[in-house]
Structure formats: structure tokens, C-alpha cells
Amino acid sequence: MNKIIIALVLSLLGAKSFAQDLVKTINYTVPKKSEIFQIVEEEKKQLSLFFCTNKQISSLRFNENFEIIDSLTTNQIDKKFDEIIGYSLSGDKYYTYWTNGKDYISKAFDFKNKKIESNNYDVILEKEKIIKKLSINNLFYLITVSKNSSLLNFYVFNDGNFTKKVVDFSSKIFYNTYDKEALLSSVFSEATAMENPYSLQNISNDSPASLVFTANKRKCYNYGDQFIITIDNNKTFTQYVSVNLKDFTSDYKIFGQPEIIENVDMTNDSNSFLLEKNLIQIRLNSDNMTIAVKDFENKTVKSFKANSKEEISFKNSDIVQENKNVKSVRILDKSNQFIRKIYNLNPSLSCYINNDNYYLTIGSVSVLENNNAALYGAMLGGLTGALIGAALTSNYSTNNLNSYHERKVVYINSILDKNFNHVAGDAKKLAFDKLRNFVEEHKNVQYRTIFKRGNSLYFAGYTGLNTYSFYSFKD
């Protein structure tokens, strides 16, 4: 009996430590072998879940209390189109976009009229390479770069139609990894340790960006109508490209990386992370590291320096090393271990705003040691299966969480105030940290998804016995 009581107490303490709330459980049987994505509408306070198989798509629409308000299902699946790549909204019509790698169609879920419509799109890519597929402000964008040029092309899908917008950067000078002048297409054609040619990692504020995502040298961000690309393939500066999605005006800037004490035996490495009005950069070698915050006039707002011989003055946590999952953790003792490890891996920054403070994570990640990432995503009920595109915008947080699996991660946390001054004290667990632990403890939950609504991060999954449950996590 005592053992049972102790086990129960430990279980309750463990549940409380994750600080999650069970907000709703519904009676619903998820179709077998489903892949899931969701659309969150903050203004309407609605959530739509799409359960997709190779035979049907079922959509459930929920109100703010996670009560089902309506549903639609279609069995009209054209197996020729085997990947869902995005969505757009038009009133009560929810367009899902499909491709076979060449052709494009949409299936529009019309909840008002209780019907589903299909549209074909005559998209002809003329010597173009796709770099990103994104849903922004309820529109879907297929973004390409023209070969042997500095032209960015935006195919904008809305309400059953699409238009093409071309943004010309031909008058700008871009630089490649080797500090040579290059066309924008050439910059995108380069591969790095973390990314393939013509790839572009999306960074969203739905959840704190993983160090895996931010270790990429080419990243994109969306703030209001601004679509922004940062390029850190060159280790001496960050290249910044922005496009206004309303009128397709553009801008290009170069932000020099901060200076560090040179190590004659080692080269430097660098990366950056964009906040709405500032760029945070990291530059380091095996002995020294500098973090700099720049404004958009390229002026340094604040900088922090660290070296291998002294304690890091601006950290608010232990030096943590994770080995393949959040449960396998080692605490490092010395600054020289930290600087050397993040230099030898892939340096990365991630910053998240909480209660008027900036939670800055500084660290590095390893490349995947095997090719099990897709398998793991499918096991988790994530979106790295074959049907739902791995870069589907709405499932950003699911991919974000899954990205850490099977990697070595080394990091520290730092707290800064709104003026980027260091704030003393221990870094607390954010909702995303709590969620990572919760997911690790609940691997048996199937058909899961993660999304942000309001100020909370939500985890949803099939818990068996025809029940689908929603949990909330708060900072």
C-alpha cells in the first residue's frame, strides 16, 4: 500500500511539474494513419483540425472552448496529388493546396454551404527553383528564385485564384560563402552543414524557435506585411532582404558581424537571429565569442563578450548539453567547454519575448547522425509523413519540437530587459520547455499536433478509447 501511495504522489508531482492543464476531451475516432494540420483563427477564436489520409480528409471546426461547431469530410482524393503544402482562408472557405511536385490543385472546405470544391492551377515555373511555401496572413505563397538571376518570384494564392509578383534585386550585390560577389540564385544554391541547396528555414513566433531551426544560415521571418530573409552563409556579415507583401517593394541591407579576438589557429563562425526591430548576431572561434544586438541602422545597441578563461557573465542558467533527447542531460562546468563545443557544432541563437524581457538562448546543435527524422515525425503523429508537407506553416510548432530529436544540443539561457541589459536571476521554464518534457513522457499519445492560440501553447492528441484531448501550457 505504501508503494502505491508513493507512486501516486510522485505521479501527481510529475504531472504538476509540467504545468499543463487538460482543457478539453472530445469523443472522436481519428481515422487510422492520419496526418494532421490545423488552422488557428485568432480573431474568430476558432480552430480547425484537418485529419488527412490517402483516402479522405476530415475537418473539424472548434469554438474558443474547443467545442465542435461543424465538420466536413471528403472522400474525393486524387492520388496523383500526394502532398499538402499550405492553406489560405476566404470567409468560411478553407483552401488546402496540394501538389505532385509539378501540378497544383486546391480543395476548398466551404463550411457555410457545406460543400467541398476543387480547383486546378496552371502554375508554370520558368527556370525557377522553389525556396519556400508559406501561408501568411491567410494567403498562400509559393516563393521561387529565378536561375542565374537575382529575381524573387511570389505566386500568391487567394480565393481560388493566383497572381505572380516579381521582385527584382538585380541592382544589389550579394556575396557567397567565399566572399565573392554573386547572384541571389547562387547564394541560395549553396549547401551548408544544416541545409540543402535552395532551402529556407521559416522562423515563427508561435513558439520559441529551436536551435536546430535557427542554426540554418538562411532563414525567413514574417512581421505584419513584411517578409524578411536573413543570409549568414558569409561569416563576416549578415545579408538582409525584405519584401512588403502588400505592394512588393523591397529592401536590402548588410550587417557586419561583431569583432572578436582572433584565434590564429582557427577560423571564425557566425549566425544571427532577427527580432522585429533588431538583429542579434553571434561570432565566435574556439576561444572567444561576441553577441551583438544591432538596430536597422546597423548600429550596435548592446554587445556581450565571453572567452574560454572566464565565467560567462551574462548567463542565467547552467551550461546544458542534451544528448538526443530532453531526458539525457549533462551539465558542463566551464566556459571553455561551452565555447569550444558550440564552435565545433553549428552555432545558433534563439530569442523569445516574455513579460517584457528577452529570453535569449545561445548554443549549437549537431547534424543528424542518421536518417530517422522522418520516421520519428510519423511516430509522433507529427507532419513529417509523406502526405503533409514537412514545411507546412501551420504545423510549425510540431516540427519545431520534433527537430531536437537525435541531435546533440549545447546551450545557455540569458535574460535581457527591453533595452537588452542583462537581468540577474535564474531563467524560468517557458511553456515550450514544459511541453518538451510532457511530450517525452507521453509518447503513447497518437495523432498529435501543437499550436499557439492567444497566450497559450496547446498540445492535442488521440489518447485512446475514441477520445481526443487538448492540453494547454503557459509561460
Give yes or no for residue 16 having a pLDDT over 50. Answer: no
Instruction: Tell me the per-residue pLDDT of 46-57, one tens digit each, with 9 for 90 and over.
Output: 999 999 988 889
The pLDDT value given to residue 108: 94
Evaluate whether residue 392 is within a structural domain.
Answer: no
Strand 46-52 with 288-294, pairing: unpaired
Give yes or no for residue 429 having a pLDDT over 60. Answer: yes
Q: How confident is the model at residue 118 (pLDDT cuts 50, 70, 90)?
A: very high
Evaluate whether residue 438 is within a structural domain.
Answer: no
Evaluate whether residue 349 is within a structural domain.
Answer: yes
CA–CA distance, 256 with 264 (Å, rounded to integer): 21
Give yes or no for residue 379 having a pLDDT over 60. Answer: no
Evaluate whether residue 227 is within a structural domain.
Answer: yes
Q: How confident is the model at residue 20 (pLDDT cuts 50, 70, 90)?
A: confident
Give yes or no for residue 371 having a pLDDT over 70. Answer: no
Evaluate whether residue 434 is within a structural domain.
Answer: no
Instruction: Tell me the per-residue pLDDT of 81-115, one tens digit each, with 9 for 90 and over.
Output: 888 899 999 999 999 999 988 999 999 999 999 99
The pLDDT value given to residue 470: 96
Strand 201-202 with 218-223, pairing: parallel
The predicted model gives 245-253 an average pLDDT of: 98
Mean pLDDT for all residues in the chain: 89
Give yes or no for residue 448 having a pLDDT over 80. Answer: yes
The pLDDT value given to residue 133: 94
Q: How confident is the model at residue 390 (pLDDT cuts 50, 70, 90)?
A: low
Q: How confident is the model at residue 387 (pLDDT cuts 50, 70, 90)?
A: low
The pLDDT value given to residue 473: 95
Evaluate whether residue 285 is within a structural domain.
Answer: yes
Say how many domains are in the chain: 1
What is the spatial order of strands in the sheet that 269-274 belongs to? 269-274, 279-284, 288-294, 300-307
Query: Could you list the residue range(s) of the whole structural domain that residue 326 is in?
Result: 208-376+407-428
Evaluate whether residue 280 is within a structural domain.
Answer: yes
Residues in CB range of 347: below 8 A, 6 or more apart: 215, 269, 270, 271, 282, 284, 363, 364
Q: Are 307 and 289 in contact (CB under 8 A)?
A: yes
Evaluate whether residue 439 is within a structural domain.
Answer: no
Give yes or no for residue 393 having a pLDDT over 80. Answer: no
CA–CA distance, 13 with 149 (Å, rounded to integer): 59
The pLDDT value given to residue 101: 87
Give yes or no for residue 372 having a pLDDT over 50. Answer: no
What does the block give as the cell for 139? 494567403
Give yes or no for residue 347 having a pLDDT over 80. Answer: yes
The predicted model gives 169-188 an average pLDDT of: 96
| DSSP codes of every residue in 29-63 | -PPTT-EEEEEEETTTTEEEEEEE-SS-EEEEEE-
The predicted model gives 22-49 an average pLDDT of: 93
The predicted model gives 139-150 an average pLDDT of: 97
The letter for the amino acid at 391 is A
